[in-house]
Amino acid sequence: MQKQIKSALISVFYKDNLENIVKKLGEQGVTIYSTGGTQKFIEDLGVSCVAVENLTAYPSILGGRVKTLHPKVFGGILARRDNPQDLEQLAQYEIPELDLVIVDLYPFEETVKSTKEEQAIIEKIDIGGVSLIRAAGKNYKDVVIVASKDQYADLEKVLTDNKGATSLEDRRAFAAKAFEVCANYDVAISQYFLNNEPAAYFQVSAPQGQIMRYGENPHQKGVFYGNLSEIFNKLHGKELSYNNLVDVDAACQLIQEFKDITFAVIKHTNVCGVASRATLKEAWDAALAGDKESAFGGVLVCNTIVDKVTAESISEIFFEILIAPGFAADALEVLQAKKNRILLEQKAPVVTPNVYKNVLNGVLLQGNDKGNFQDWNDVGAKPATPEEKADLTFANIVCKHLKSNAIALVKNQQLIGKGCGQTSRIDALRHAIEKAKQFSFDLRGAAMASDAFFPFDDCVRIAHAEGIVSIIQPGGSVRDNDSITYCKENDMVMVMTGMRHFKH
């Protein structure tokens, strides 16, 4: 059912790209009602406008907190045009019908990001705007609601193509987007007041960034909700896929743990190579050496600017994505030689306070695994030397980012073997040893990390037989003493952290 827009209420915080709409409404003879700064904006364009105060016979009061909250405004929005009693009351109380409402909301989320001053934040909780949106959305059969500057282009198209007439489908579509705006706004306010405390309802809201070509597999749909541009400048390459984003997140979460110059290679969210060195080229060489096979088609990440020498070396292998805090101009020229290669300049950390997983028709929520140690408890034959402590710390970080059951073998701050996603811890260790030997690493003097405790001393015995001299693990087994005793009897270092790192 087509309806002609004859009257409009416009009251917005953001006036960007509103000019063409206002002029078009003026050309089409639409009566416009407005408030404060928006009214001035409209009149400065040479378009006539009726002040809401003239309609309600009340001024804007309480410092602007109350402007549009009045029956003469909401009556004109909520009146059902096919209801004779509603129309009689409009006439009785001299309330004009309002066919179009253009309103946005105070920038609450932006204010939370920019200040910690509570009163400034509270003042950006919109009342009138949300009420107008809900009222107009509820009465979408008769009213068009535009609740965000992101919808201005859609409205302008309707005004241009249909000369101000809208279909029921148009109005319902605008209403759907408007209620999404309100829902996102309410979640942001709720989360501010909760201040990371547990909520009675599962509340998450993020902007829709893009529809993926597909999910993990071509037969699955995929959508990314979020704002990648807040974290990255995409400098080159093809569109990021669902699987790309999963691996990029894993890569960023890992590299944030290191302060020294570090390079890492990620494959299917697991670390397959990582090393810290004095130069980036040396870190890359050592990371690649950890598992040259798995690095093929992987996601690469480092924590310092990529130079030309490193770029030339990286370019010798096939990889999907390279993430770095910056690229030298000549390095970028080298890396851009392959058109599909994705280059991401990371400009902000990845901040994920919570982790979500859908299970059993519901959602599991947990805090992110931010820690590495609860304690540093030397329980073996002797305390760790500074060199051993560096390798154990490195191994513990790497192990934290491997899928459980996980074992990481490290030597000279280089991952030389890993076992991950195994159904037993001893299988994870066997896999790690096999990987190290596959690439001709000498395990003598290496450090070993386990994401969870050893239920028996079998892993400790196997490690010792291969020449591994130091072990880090959370402890907590009823048979911890078996492993501790073996280490003491065989002059091995064992550190217990008191912090498990399961990752499923």
Distance CA 406, CA 241 (A): 27
For residue 318, which phi and psi values (nearest 5 degrees)? Answer: -85, 125
CB atoms inside a 10 Å sphere around CB 88: 10
> Residue 264 forms beta bridges with which residues?
274, 301
Tokens of 291: 């598992």
Nearest to 432 by CA among 445, 423, 420, 421: 420
Residue 271 amino acid letter: V
Options 138, 141, 338, 403, the catalytic residue: 138
CB atoms inside a 10 Å sphere around CB 85: 9
| 407-410 vs 447-450, strand pairing mode | antiparallel
Options 24, 268, 292, 488, the catalytic residue: 268
Catalytic residue at 138?
Answer: yes
> Residue 265 forms beta bridges with which residues?
273, 300
* Residue at token pair 């989320």: 109
Three-class HEC string of 187-238 = HHHHHHHHCCCCCCCCCCCCCEEEECCCCCCCCCCCEEECCHHHCEEEEECC
CB atoms inside a 10 Å sphere around CB 240: 21
Q: Is the bond preceding residue 405 a cis peptide, omega within 30 degrees? A: yes
Please answer whether residues 322 and 342 qualify as being in contact, where contact means their C-beta atoms are separated by less than 8 angstroms: yes
Tokens of 110: 């932006």
Distance CA 263, CA 129 (A): 49
Catalytic residue at 411?
Answer: no
Residue-wise DSSP of 310-360: HHHHHTTS-EEEEEES-B-HHHHHHHTTSTT-EEEEE-S----SEEEEEET
Q: Is the dihedral of CA 328, 329, 331, 336 positive or negative?
A: positive
Helix (H) or strand (E) holding 100: strand 100-103
Please answer whether residues 447 and 412 qualify as being in contact, where contact means their C-beta atoms are separated by less than 8 angstroms: no
Per DSSP, the three-state class of 26 is helix
The residues annotated as belonging to the active site are: 138, 268
